[in-house]
Amino acid sequence: MPAPYPLIDMPPGDFSNIFDFQAINMAAAHNQFIQGINAMVYHAPRIPEEKVQPFVKFSLIFLEHLHHHHTLEETLLFPEFEKKLGQGSLSVNIEQHHDFVPQIDELERHLKDIQSEKVKYDGKALVERIDGFGDIMIEHLNEEIATLESSRMRSAFTEKELKDIDAAFMKEVMASLDLYTALPFSVVCGNPATPWFPPLPAPLKWATKWWFYRRHKECWEFGQLDLSGKPRPEYGI
């Protein structure tokens, strides 16, 4: 079984500074995905039969969240950045998606076949599938941060322009998310070192813990954190 994939170090700067924010926010988001893939790798060979279906649902929620992130990057965020950074200036990020997304799509189809009981669950085989693309994916998640480096943003955008892009992006994020999956996932696959991410207002944090978790409550035990954001001891965090 592969060792846990290392989390990304937070870029320097101030999260409240819109120029620094781009790389810091992206690194924090990417760490959620690394937490998600680490959770799958940790649990896959340990799952008892009665918890296979909840674990598969958790895994599919993670992959759905990852797809949502990539889709909004490719269709909204990066095209807006390229208007000032230059056409194709972020194309490497999208090209890297093509290096591992097909394998994620295949993993998703496999999980859905397990969910529908077309195929039998095999935890070792599941880890082998993840191991087939994990290193490439982690490399991409790390390298993408440098393309959003603070000085690069500052050289091309005004503060207002970046704030307007961020506001439009977040509006689309919130309009297209399933709050019953995305919010609990963001908590249980959070990073204890960045408890401020995602920057949810207090009422939404409360609602996540006491309401939004309920629809898929059987899934959230597989994250590294509990719904209060506290690390689960079995992960050694």
Residue 199: what pLDDT?
83
Please give the structure tokens belonging to residue 217: 């409550």
Digits of tens for pLDDT over the chain (237 positions)?
A: 556 899 999 999 999 999 999 999 999 999 999 999 999 999 999 999 999 999 999 999 999 999 999 999 999 999 999 999 999 999 999 999 999 999 999 999 999 999 999 999 999 999 999 999 999 999 999 999 999 999 999 999 999 999 999 999 999 998 998 999 999 999 999 999 999 898 888 898 899 999 999 999 999 999 999 999 999 987 764
Residue 235: what pLDDT?
73
Residue 236: what pLDDT?
62
Please give the structure tokens belonging to residue 36: 């998600």
Fold of the 18-177 domain: Four Helix Bundle (Hemerythrin (Met), subunit A) (1.20.120)
